[in-house]
Structure formats: structure tokens, C-alpha cells
Structure 1
């Protein structure tokens, strides 16, 4: 297998081979236009059709109703960390509440706090971000503007189960690293957002699904570019959008729909991959430590360590000899991380597991 096939990076993540091939051809010339996708106008009929298809595919994959607006924005989740409270945390409501469950949720909380005072509904920092709370048991003010959480913490390898019911306040979720990895009861959320560079394509575009009832909260004095109604009203084409990233996202949604067979099939594949990897890590016993406590282990990102920085580096080198890339842990945590995003194949995971076992026997 090529390094593209053995890419376990936390982001940008692996892309399906069929999408890579289609993208390569489109960079030279789109079959529909004869022009490179990199030179296509965002005002062209071709791109309008791509935007429409991207939205249609996402709605079909999720079974998403017209209650939700679908828009494609720029700036990644990092920009939305600030614009969400600007749009929805008005003085008519109590402060928004945040679940601080890892590196990225702590970033979201800090940015929101620069806009408006926030309340921490749960904080996992003291425990080293190794476990998660039950969302339906959190003590959240009845008049809170919203409750925000990150569904999958890529750095620490933690993943929430989907809430069993809609909470009493609007629920907003950053799903950047597990969006479209499994079916989703979207109607339990007031807003879902996800940047592309995990499961959806290259960086540059962020998908936002917004309950239209939330739009009435938005104050009228926001700069137009920060007002989410602007993006919706202009159908994701207010200012020059990332045409290339949205095109690749559309190819990925076609792949999920046509080649994989939908999100239930994708979930089965992802669960098989995660079971194989965690089974291997657990079989190594004391040689390897998985960061996340067992009930909250992520099916998207496994963070682990051999307990010695030299051994971790040696394993990265050994894996590299097999063509495996992207195993370095996040700079804030160190250690190792294997990301099992949608395009990572079971065969690639099998190669990683064989390498882990061989390395453990030889070096640990």
C-alpha cells in the first residue's frame, strides 16, 4: 500500500482513492467544463450546481429536514468558536454553557469567553481529559442561551455517545472529527458544524447545519460576514468561497452515498476498524497505555503511548518503514495517535496492528 493508503494523520485526514483520482483529473480539467477546478468561477452555473449537490447529498445522508439550513462557511471551527456566541448568546438569555472535555473544547470555551461570559457545565481538565460526562445529567440553567460540546476530541481520543434525547436548551455541537462517520439524529441539535479536513475533504470549508428557529436570535448589528444569516441568504456564496474544497467535499459525499452505501454502512466499517486497533493495543497490556478511559474511547482517534518518548519515536520510525505515516501525537499531549477517519481502510488498520505487535515483541 502507498503512504496515501496508510495515512493515519489527525488532520488533514486520508481521502478515498477514488476521490484522489477524481481530484487529480479535475485539477487538470473538469470533464464538465474543460477548465481546471482551480480556475472555476464561484459565480458559474457549474459551481452553483456543486453547492446544490453538496447540500442535497448531506441532507440525504443524514435524513435532514428543511427545518435546518445548510451552509458552507470559511474560517474553520476556530472562527465559529467566536461567531456562535456572537450570533446566539444574546442578553435575552443566561450565559451559554460549555462542556470542557479536551483540547478543542477548551479552545472553543476560551474563544466564546472573549465574546460573552460563559459557564462551564463540566470540566475534565483536572482528570487529564480521560473521561466524559453524560450530557443528559449535566446541571444546565433552563434559560441558558445554549449548551455547546465537541462530540469527538481528536487530541485525547474521546468520543461522546449521541444524546438519547434533545436537551432542555439548544444543543450546539462541533462534530469536526466524526461528522458523517455514522448516522445522526440531527433533530436533537440546534446547530451542528464540522470543518472538512477530517472526514470531508481538504481544509478550507466548514459545514454548518442550523435550526432556522435560531436565526431569529441573531442581533442586527453584526458585521455581515459574521452574521450566519448572510451566508444562508446568499446560499454559501456571499464572498468568494473555497471552490476547490467544496468540490472535493462533494466528491466525498458521493463516495459515501454510492460506494459505501450510506452512513449505517460507514459506521459498521468504522466500528470494525476501531475494534481491531483497540483490541491490539489492549493485547499489548502494560507495554502500551491508551489515554482515554475505556467507556469513552473514540472510534476516530486512538491516543496512546509506549510510556517512553524514545520508544514512541522508535515506533514512528518503524511504522514509517512500512509506509505508515501520521502517527505522531498532538503537540499538547505527545505520545502517539492513530486516526481512523472514514477513508482509512480496514486493510490499513490491519497493517498498523501487525506493526504494533511486531514492534512490541522486538523492542518492549
Structure 2
């Protein structure tokens, strides 16, 4: 069977060896005679899975004991509410960097809990990451979205000089490059881009920051509950945690985050180079703010875009249509996406441009 080239923004492509390992474990986990879906979350077999997942995340991410590793059975959108509910009150302020749709949703949710100060914004076109940030005087935390999947922008480094712990939505670029934990109180990430299946999120939370959260919430709504009880207050998503462990082990075996980051840089550069030199296609994000995970672009005409999508399907490519809110095209190049797939897309872009947009190219191609 030939696998389709999956450019989906998430759920997204996973390493083949992880899928095959999961296939085996569904029937029999490590010779136990019981599949991972059937094992008790309180049993020793899953206990070893959970311990392995945390150990691998710490090893690959370079994460010290001052941080707790949490597995929350929810997607990243859940944390848009959970973060302010834990740390923001009607009498305090949180700072938010607004760089696109997802940060906008986080801001909207935070305003239910307290005052939100928008420290920077790349409105209206969201083509750049803001260079200047005006932090408020005494925020309880400073939130940013490290990579915006819809507009295709990414922070090259975390925001600087924040006057409070950083909180990061890293859903679409977690473990895609070396992890910088400097000044971070909490990082949350839906798993379905670079870590595993949907329905679970990884949280990397500084233990002292977690303890500053309110206690006036249900235990399941408090990060401290997950930290104190090793994500076992209730039944966790056992299969998803198993897959996350396998994905992080794959990252380690590929050479770690430095090697993965270089691969991702190289893959993205192949595609951006073609877009920048083309007369038929144009990248949305400005140089210096471009995502290595989600490359968004438009065709010169709607007809050209339609032709690209039709021919992509013929060539075994899926998931290139842009988000419904903005249209256009989007190629998501997550960790497990092969470089050969980018080369195939580049060839397709060339072919569609040649056949449907015959004006001469600029020199340098």
C-alpha cells in the first residue's frame, strides 16, 4: 500500500514505525497478552508506559525537575479557559500577544476571568510576528502562541523581557526544535500535530507557578491536581500517552531536537524558496516571521488554486486546502513529514504554474 502524502494541519502525519508499534500494542502490549486499550490505568503495565513517557519527554526536551510533566485529556482549546481560570482573577491582569486566530480565541476566553492587556498585535493581516511588545505593569502571566497554523507565522524565539512567567500555546511546534524554557511558567500543546493522536494535551508546568493558581475550582480544573497526582486523578487517555512516548522515542532516535529542528528548517526552506521566486504562488507570512510547520500561500487566481488541489489528489497528496476562515493553500510540514514529500509538492507547484500560468519566471530559479 502506498501512503498518501498528508499535509493536514492536524491530526497529522505520524512516523510509520510509531504507527506499526501502536498496531502491535493494540493487540498485545509488551508480551502481556492484553492490548494497550484494555490495560487498567492503575496496573503496572500502564504505570511503566506513563513513567517512560515522562522520562523520554524530560530527556529529549532537557526538562528539569522544577517542571511537572502533565497529560490532560483535552485539546489546546481547553487550556484557553483553564489557564485564566487558574491564574487570572477579576482584580488582576494577564498580557497576551495577538498573532492570529488561535491567540485571538485565547484572548476571548481569558476575558471571562479578568482583565486582558493585548501587549502586541499583528492585526489585521497577521503576516508578521510583532517586534515591539508593550507589557503591562504587573501581569500575572504573559501568554503567546508560538506558531499560528492558520496564517503561517512563528516566533523565532520566545518574547523577551516579560515581567511575569510566560505561558505558551505550543500546540503546532512543540518538539519541532530545541526547547527554550527560559522564563516559562507553563507550556501547553495539543498532541495531534507533532506528538501523537488528538484528544490529549501535554503540559510542561513549573511546579512553583502551578501552586500560585486558585484553589476555588474543581480539582479536575486545577493544574496542581495533575501535578500532584501525576495526571492520574481520573483515568487518563492511556493509548494517547503510549503513542506520545513512542513519538518522543522516535525523535530521540532521529538525533533529538537539534537534528529535528534542522530537518524542519531545510524542508520549509525548499518550499519558501519556490514561493518567493514564483509568479503564480505567493507566501502569506513575511520573511523573519515564517512558520517552519505551516506554510500558507495563495495562487494568482482561484482557478490556479483549484487546479493545484485537483492535481494534488491525483498525485496522492492530501490536506493542502487552507483553513476555512482564510482560504488559500496550506502545507503542514510537521516532524514526521518526509522531505521527499516537500520535493514532490515543489514539483507539483512548478507543473501547475507552467501549465496554467505561462508568464516567464524571474531569473535565479
Whether the TM-score (by the shorter chain) exceeds 0.5 is yes
1:325 matched to 2:312? The reply is no
Matches within 5 A, 1:131-142: 131-134=128-131, 137-142=132-137
Partners of 2:352 and 2:39 lie apart in 1 by 48
Partners of 1:313 and 1:27 lie apart in 2 by 40
The answer (yes or no) to whether the contact 2:100–2:126 under 8 Å persists in 1 is yes
Among 112, 118, 121, the residue aligned to 2:119: 121
Among 270, 274, 284, the residue aligned to 1:276: 270
Aligned to 2:350: 357
Aligned to 2:188: 193
SS at match of 2:211: helix
SS at match of 1:333: coil
The answer (yes or no) to whether the contact 1:165–1:188 under 8 Å persists in 2 is no
The answer (yes or no) to whether the contact 1:87–1:228 under 8 Å persists in 2 is yes
Aligned to 2:141: 146
Aligned to 1:45: 44
Listed as ranges, the gaps of 5+ residues in structure 2 are: 358-365
Aligned to 2:363: none
1:263 matched to 2:257? The reply is yes
Listed as ranges, the gaps of 5+ residues in structure 1 are: none
Question: Could you tell me how far 1:292 is from its partner in structure 2?
Answer: 0.7
Partners of 1:133 and 1:146 lie apart in 2 by 18
Question: Could you tell me how far 1:163 is from its partner in structure 2?
Answer: 3.0
Aligned to 1:219: 214
Partners of 2:215 and 2:183 lie apart in 1 by 27
1:316 matched to 2:309? The reply is yes
Among 139, 154, 160, the residue aligned to 1:159: 154
The answer (yes or no) to whether the contact 1:3–1:324 under 8 Å persists in 2 is no
Higher helix fraction: Structure 1 or Structure 2? 1
Aligned to 2:93: 95
1:343 matched to 2:336? The reply is yes
The answer (yes or no) to whether the contact 1:177–1:300 under 8 Å persists in 2 is yes
Superposed CA offset, 1:203-255 (max 9, x none): 01101111112123212211111011111111111111111111111100110
The answer (yes or no) to whether the contact 1:88–1:214 under 8 Å persists in 2 is no
Evaluate the alpha carbon distance shift between residue 319 and residue 226 of structure 1 in structure 2; reply closer, same or farther with a 3 A threshold. Answer: same
Among 127, 137, 142, the residue aligned to 1:130: 127
Aligned to 2:61: 62
Matches within 5 A, 1:234-313: 234-258=229-253, 260-284=254-278, 286-313=279-306
TM norm structure 1 = 0.94
Evaluate the alpha carbon distance shift between residue 173 and residue 96 of structure 1 in structure 2; reply closer, same or farther with a 3 A threshold. Answer: same
The answer (yes or no) to whether the contact 2:167–2:186 under 8 Å persists in 1 is yes
Superposed CA offset, 1:237-289 (max 9, x none): 1111111111111100110112x1100010111111011111121221x3112
Question: Could you tell me how far 1:324 is from its partner in structure 2?
Answer: 0.8
Partners of 2:153 and 2:159 lie apart in 1 by 18
Evaluate the alpha carbon distance shift between residue 310 and residue 34 of structure 1 in structure 2; reply closer, same or farther with a 3 A threshold. Answer: farther
The answer (yes or no) to whether the contact 1:157–1:292 under 8 Å persists in 2 is yes
The answer (yes or no) to whether the contact 1:90–1:217 under 8 Å persists in 2 is no
Question: Could you tell me how far 1:313 is from its partner in structure 2?
Answer: 2.1
Partners of 1:307 and 1:125 lie apart in 2 by 23
Partners of 2:163 and 2:110 lie apart in 1 by 21
Partners of 1:215 and 1:8 lie apart in 2 by 36
The answer (yes or no) to whether the contact 1:151–1:160 under 8 Å persists in 2 is yes
SS at match of 1:37: coil
SS at match of 2:25: helix
The answer (yes or no) to whether the contact 1:8–1:327 under 8 Å persists in 2 is yes
Question: Could you tell me how far 1:308 is from its partner in structure 2?
Answer: 2.7
Partners of 1:71 and 1:38 lie apart in 2 by 20
Q: Does 63-72 or 20-29 show the bigger shift?
A: 20-29
